[in-house]
Structure 1
C-alpha cells in the first residue's frame, strides 16, 4: 500500500509501506551496491561511518554484509545495534537512507551464500577465514530521493535551471516503512 501526494513546489511525494517499501529499497540498492554504514555507539559517544559493499538484499528487505569479527564496527554493534545506511546510486537520483538494527552471526552456510571472490582481499583465507562474520541489517524505516524521468532528463533540467534561473524540479521523495 503506497500513497502519492504532490506539494505546491512541484515536488512529488510517494510513500511506501510493507512489500512496496521492500521493492523500492531493493531497486535503489541494486543501483548503488555499496553504502555508508553508520553505527551509533556509546564506546566513544559518536557516530562512525564507513563504506561497505552489500552482499545481498533479500526478499524481506534485510541487507547482508560480510565483516571482520575483530572490526571496530562489530564491536560497536555489540554495544548498540542501531545502524543507519546511506546509499547513492547516481549524481541525480537513487538516494536512500535506511534506519534499523544489525545482528552479527558467524553462520557458515550464510557466509557460503554471500561469498564473493573479491572479498578475499579482506579475508585472505577465503570462505573459511576464522575472522569472517555476517551482519544482517534489518530495516525499520527510511527515506528516499529519486527523480521521475531518469538521469539524462534530470541532468538536462539542472542545466536549464542553472541557465534560466527557474527551478525545474524533477524530484520524487518519500518515506519507507518496512
Structure 2
C-alpha cells in the first residue's frame, strides 16, 4: 500500500516537471549529467526516456546502471531527486506509445528511427521538497523566520522507498 502511495506521489511530481537532469557515472568515475525529457511514468513507477543508442550515456549505463534524476520546478517550489537502476530497452511498442511530435526534433525518422532506444529507470529511493505556496508567501515566511528566529517551514518533505 505504501509503495502504491509513493508511486502515485512520484508520478504527480514528475508529470508536473517532465525535464530532469540525469546523472550517470562516467568512464573515469566522475558524475556526468545531462537534461532529459521524461517520456512516461508507468503505473509501476518506472520512468522512461528516449535516447540515441550510440551515446556516452548509454555506454555509462551499460557499465554502471545506477542513475540519479533531479527534477526542479522553481515556479511551484517543487524539487525531487530519484535514485534508481537504469536499463536500455529496445521495445518498439513502447517507442510508438511514448513517442511525441517534439521527439521528432531528435529522431526525425520517428519511433522507427534505428538509433532510438529507451532508457527505463526503476526507482529505488526518491526524496522531494514541495512548498506550493506563492512566491510572496514563501518570501514572507522566510522573513518571518529571520525576524522571529524560528526555523523556516519549507513545506512538505519526504523520502520515498520503492
Deviations 1:83-129 (A, max 9, x none): 11111122462211111111101211111011011111111222211
SS of 1:18's partner is helix
- Aligned pair partner of 1:94 in 36, 55, 78: 78
Whether the 8 Å CA contact 2:129–2:154 is kept in 1: the answer is no
CA distance in 1, matches of 2:142, 2:35: 28
Q: 1:158 Cα shift?
A: 3.2
CA RMSD of aligned residues (A): 1.9
Q: 1:34 Cα shift?
A: 0.8
- Residues 1:129 and 2:116 aligned together: no
CA distance in 2, matches of 1:154, 1:46: 36
CA distance in 1, matches of 2:134, 2:5: 23
- Aligned pair partner of 2:65 in 81, 99, 104: 81
Gaps of 5+ in 2: none
Other-structure match for 1:172: 156
- Aligned pair partner of 2:53 in 52, 69, 73: 69
Other-structure match for 1:57: 41
Other-structure match for 1:30: 15
Larger relative contact order (C-alpha < 8 A, sep ≥ 6)?
A: 1
- Aligned pair partner of 1:116 in 90, 97, 100: 100
Gaps of 5+ in 1: 2-16
CA distance in 1, matches of 2:115, 2:159: 36
TM-score (norm 2): 0.89
What is the total number of aligned residue pairs between the two structures? 160
TM-score (norm 1): 0.81
